[in-house]
Structure 1
């Protein structure tokens, strides 16, 4: 059933789907990111983009308001001229059945055009949660967009937390950082065989060692994008092996499969479009796949690599059964949670000084936590299953400094908590500073002298 065409409104007659929503990460302010992108990148043709922080996890009796900041440009010459935009949300209880059209109203917000839809209680309060998507159209510009870009094929999915476990952090005490159990990799800046390349980044911040991962045997692999190679430290080795890669040398994320296959996600570069490059462990190129607009992470899923699209906060499959998935196929298969091989998904929502985390299975939310901080929170760097619980790493900030807080969460609440130096002298890919392997957490850090990877052993419940 095509729910859009079944409506009599102008919006419902639109079948166009535009994949371009603005960059950001679920754990950062999407509207602010979108505005920055709009200011630095002028439209070459009519442009209509909508940003939205989806309420992926909701609490009981919480009022559900879906807010969208919409940006419209008629042409490059009129990039700051607002377009007239109409919008509608299509929502339903659960994740099956027909969508109901929900009217939107305009209100003043972070952008010139903020649109708000309030869901009826029959949908917002459904025991199975709800799913929805939005469609915006500008008659003047002659274009339309759907958010998420997959529309009715891959709507946003919101789930109730149920009986969540509350974690109250209080005010953070800076300076009490934990020492590493081991330094497992270290390299100076440079172009030598055992060095990591350093290049000038945005806003005078240098870029070096844009991502890393930990192999099944405990070996550490750093993506040295400036020198277009991998540096692989075998377990216990002091010097790395160098593995050349056919990459563009831009800021990129990386993930390594159990068999050693390397996935490199180039989110930007001279090619102008995001690409996922696949390499054998020895660096031989195996495939290059076009990826839907503005991705931020690549991780290994149960059936190949999955990519997080920032604007929709959805995980998309890049491969299935060893075969590449087209861009349209990626968009139509987007899911809210990051999938794991045991059938579980993990869903996170950071909003202000609160982080909500849920482990989701076939019957819905299996276990959930609500973490509240007395100190402002920035991005969630890592959230991964750990036994029946979760390891969560988030950044805490004040006017003068920042640190990472590591929480090992279980059914009893917090079973382990410690702080780490941010150690981020050089820029990396946005969410590439931590990896969890077995019962150890690994951190990628940097100083003016070079790059390092430290290991922190966790208590096992």
Structure 2
């Protein structure tokens, strides 16, 4: 059996590893300052490391600090000075300490009044722990060649511009030539000209191969059967009083919605509907879109309860695998900085610079199974909530960027380094001006890649791309 899919039934190791990251009040009692620290989850054996703690708020200079650090082969912490530089406290960790399986550390900062901050608050009882990668698998992308986009293998769903809703102007707001619904904008506006423009922005690939599209403007979900891209099979009406941001398909035909109610205080809620749109339950939403179904069938958001201000994204389960909503306390307790993947694995992502991203697979015992170091001469930034395992290989997505231009790139990482496959896609395929949280890329249950493409002039389509053997 592949090591990637060997089931490990002891989650205690990973739970202990995350404890420090989940308890991080980083402000001193009575102080008007706090710290912000990005955890470098994956470091390279033998390489020096710089740790930075940004100082936020008002304080009396100078703040002093000490970093306490040790590796898994040491019993006692070594003290390193934190030096003030450009509004942050910086510590240089020598490469000789970057050894063993993990590096543990915590920081103590004090201002002249005697007030102090310990990060994490648990200090030496539960310090930060990052993985030491012995030999990271190298993936060198070189300079990205913009404009060399992959053609889709098939269009698996499509609808004309009259069959999906769009809001806003089709042309630049200054031209004011045509509204998204085809009408002429009045002199004073009225169709959204000069205001945010948007259309369908979220879709799902069901296990039976059917395609589901969120048509926000018309308050409905559109469904296409597998193998019938040009024929709309049915639509599922959604409550007219809801502004739906994202949706996901759960067990037993359940449809999950993240939505804001227009009636009342306008709070956001998580809704569970039947396959025909009838309400099953409603709970207050404390996370944010996007919504994703995890490998165990539970509903997650990668923008839930952050374990601390040090973590950019936190994977919070919102339901059980059977579809029961979790209490807020349960959501907090089960939150992890790392994306859940098949086989009990978790995906660790960290970005040392705008030209490097590191990915790691960790098993439930907290052991690093494999780590990659992806570098590019072109700036790249990992896309949240798109990664998956396909045929035992890790597939990730990133945005490649240069001034006034960017594209998506999807990488199937090889287990020995390099890539098995690279797919470049148009990052402007989704029409509109809103910064929407639901990324229009999905890796389906069949191990293939799907992209949503929308335009009020041509309508909507879902394109499919091959990622190789699943």
Kindly name which structure, 1 or 2, has the bigger radius of gyration based on alpha carbons: 2
| Alignment correspondent of 1:421 | 426
2:410 to 397, 402, 406: 406
1:61 CA drift (Å): 2.6
Is the 2:51–2:91 contact (alpha carbons within 8 Å) kept by the matching residues of 1?
yes
- What does residue range 13-412 of structure 1 map to in structure 2 within 5 Å? 51-72=36-57, 82=58, 106-108=84-86, 113-116=87-90, 125=98, 127-130=100-103, 158-189=130-161, 194-198=163-167, 204-237=195-228, 238-246=231-239, 249-250=242-243, 252-257=245-250, 259-266=252-259, 274-292=268-286, 295-301=288-294, 302=296, 304-309=298-303, 312=311, 313-320=313-320, 322-350=323-351, 351-363=353-365, 364-380=367-383, 382-412=386-416
Counterpart CA distance in 2 for 1:243 and 1:354 is 43
Whether the 8 Å contact between 1:154 and 1:334 is mirrored in structure 2 is no
The Cα shift of 1:214 comes to 0.6
Q: Which moved more, 1:149-158 or 1:243-252?
A: 149-158
Q: For structure 1, which runs of at least 5 residues remain unmatched after alignment?
A: 5-9, 17-45, 73-81
- The 1:388–1:414 alpha-carbon spacing in structure 2 relative to 1, beyond 3 Å, is same
- Alpha-carbon contact 1:289-1:318 (below 8 Å) kept: no
Query: Normalization by structure 2: what TM-score?
Result: 0.70
Verify the 8 A CA contact 1:92 1:132 in the aligned structure 2.
yes
CA displacement at 1:225 relative to structure 2: 2.5
1:435-450 mapped onto 2 (5 Å cutoff) = 435-437=442-444, 438-449=446-457, 450=459
8 Å contact kept, 1:107–1:116:
yes
Contact 1:131 1:157 in 2 (8 A): yes
**Contact 2:27 2:117 survives alignment (8 Å):** no
- Residues in 1 aligned to 2:279 and 2:117: alpha-carbon distance in whole angstroms: 35
- Aligned-pair CA distance for 1:403: 1.6
Residues 207 and 428 in structure 1, CA contact (< 8 A), matched pair in contact too:
no
What SS is found at the alignment partner of 2:290? Answer: strand
Tell me the CA shift for residue 170 of structure 1: 1.0
TM-score, length-normalised on structure 1? 0.71
Q: How far apart in 2 are the matches of 1:68 and 1:383? A: 29
Secondary structure of the 1:342 match is: helix
* Higher share in strand: 1
| Structure-2 change in CA distance of 1:120 and 1:178 (3 Å) | closer
Does the Cα contact within 8 Å between 1:56 and 1:348 map onto a contact in 2?
yes
Q: Is the CA contact (8 Å cut-off) linking 2:106 and 2:124 kept in structure 1?
A: yes
Secondary structure of 2:315 counterpart: strand
1:289 match: secondary structure: strand
Q: Is contact 2:26–2:34 with CA below 8 Å preserved after alignment?
A: no
Matched residues in 1 for 2:143 and 2:291: separation? 33
Match for residue 455 of structure 1? 464
Q: CA deviation at 1:338?
A: 1.2
**CA, structure 1 residues 135+239, in 2 after alignment: closer, same or farther (shift >3 Å)?**
farther
Deviation at 1:343, TM superposition (A): 0.8
* SS of structure 2 residue aligned to 1:356: strand
Q: Give aligned pairs, total.
A: 403
- Taking the aligned partners of 1:433 and 1:211, their CA distance within structure 2 comes to 6
Q: 1:379 to 1:343 in 2, by over 3 A?
A: closer
In 2, distance between residues paired with 1:203 and 1:99? 58
Q: Which moved more, 1:201-210 or 1:144-153?
A: 144-153
3-state SS, counterpart of residue 216 of structure 1: coil
Provide the secondary structure at the position in 2 that maps to 1:177.
coil
Contact in 2 for aligned 1:56/1:336 (Cα 8 Å): no
Question: Structure 1, residues 203-244: CA drift from partner, whole Å, max 9, x if none?
Answer: 844222231111001111122223332222221332252212
Secondary structure, counterpart of 1:411 in structure 2:
coil
Label 1:68 to 1:297 Cα distance change in 2 as closer, same or farther (>3 A). Answer: farther
Verify the 8 A CA contact 1:212 1:432 in the aligned structure 2: no
